[in-house]
Structure 1
Amino acid sequence: MGFPVGYTEVFLPKLFVHTLSFLGFIRNLISALFNFMGLTNFLETDAVWPENPTRTTPEHPPVSALLIREILPVIKYEELVVVGDQPESCAVCLYEFEGGEEIRWLRNCRHVFHRACLDRWMDHDKKTCPLCRTSFVPDELQGEFNQRLWAASGIADFYGEYSSVPGL
């Protein structure tokens, strides 16, 4: 026994694949020609990219994200004073920091991120550093944060209504 040398029924798909490959080559050749001549505006592309993807936020961020934003300071990168080496880039988007950009400096772990990157992280109901998973909320403010989160979530109102009912 051995392997067959060829299959006659594979001919049609092989021809189809070669045709598609040739059409892709022609498309790339025309695209390169238009780029060379400076006529890229005449080419239609399927991809539509947002102008600034780091600035997108949901309509209703979680209550915890709003409270954490009040706690975490927003400063300009040029105002950041760090003992040792200053961070060069944001670990979320991997872009380098520039002087006038707004950043958030985490108190617990001392990591630095672009404001928009960290806000977007919090909008997904994340409450820890994207790098080391240390809590955003400093230990000394954790009790106050929990009380404010409990009050803002509406649970306090629910229990407040029934607390005057005997037996509850």
Structure 2
Amino acid sequence: MGFPVGYSELFLPKLLINILTFLGLIRKIISTIIRFAGLGDFLEPEFSTDPTRTESVIQYQSVSGVLMRELLPVVKYSELVDAPESCVVCLYEFDGGDEIRRLTNCRHIFHRSCLDRWMDHEQKTCPLCRTPFISEDMQDSFNERLWAASGIVDYYGGSESSLVVGN
């Protein structure tokens, strides 16, 4: 059947594409003016179109995520025996030289970068089975290091000066 002859060229999609192109041009002009004025550092990285900007953006990392990274081992995929073929987070197959994190509780393995991003989102359990990253026997040590990193050293130190006793 097809469309009638009068509808073969639709006006609305061409207008929409032209409007979006025009808005993209305005965005580039405004960001160029902001960079020219010396205010390019105030642009968010995904909106900055400055190709000369080489500094990397520091991403937010939680203290507990950093501590968990220190506790969880990193090995090469080629060193593992009877390992799965792919990472369940990114679904890419493992290569022999890939850095792998093997969880101590459930023994699941993931690409190091996949699990690190998972921890950056304040996740403290396995993405596959939800078993905690930190085992029960390591939990006290982890909590002590977490309190120390947050600046509350006397909490686990047993110092009486940190306790407030009301009479």
What TM-score do you get using the length of structure 1 for normalisation? 0.59
1:58: how far off? 4.9
Would the alpha carbon gap of residues 140 and 163 (structure 1) be closer, same or farther in structure 2, given more than 3 Å must change?
Answer: closer
Number of residue pairs aligned between Structure 1 and Structure 2: 121
Q: Which runs of 5+ in 1 are unaligned?
A: 1-10, 24-55
Q: What amino acid sits opposite 2:74 in the alignment?
A: V
Superposition pairs of residues 46-125 of structure 1, within 5 angstroms? 58-82=58-82, 86-125=83-122
Matched-pair contact (CA < 8 Å) for 1:58–1:123 = no
Amino acid at match of 1:163: S
Is this contact kept in 1: 2:154–2:162, CA < 8 A?
Answer: no
Of structures 1 and 2, the one scoring higher in RCO (CA 8 A, sep 6+) is 1
Query: Contact 2:147–2:155 at 8 Å: present in 1 too?
Result: no
Which blocks of at least 5 consecutive residues in structure 2 are unaligned? 1-5, 19-55
Identity %: 61
User: 2:148 and 2:59 mapped to 1: Cα distance?
Assistant: 21
Separation in 2, partners of 1:18, 1:163? 68
Q: Deviations over 1:80-113 (max 9, x none)?
A: 124xxx2111111110000011000011111110
Runs of at least 4 residues off by over 4 Å: 17-20, 157-162, 164-168
**CA RMSD in angstroms, aligned pairs only:** 3.4
Aligned pairs for 1:138-149 (under 5 A) are 138-149=135-146
Summarize the Cα distance change of 1:15–1:127 in structure 2 as closer, same or farther, 3 Å threshold: same
Rounded Cα–Cα distance in structure 1 between residues aligned with 2:142 and 2:68:
8
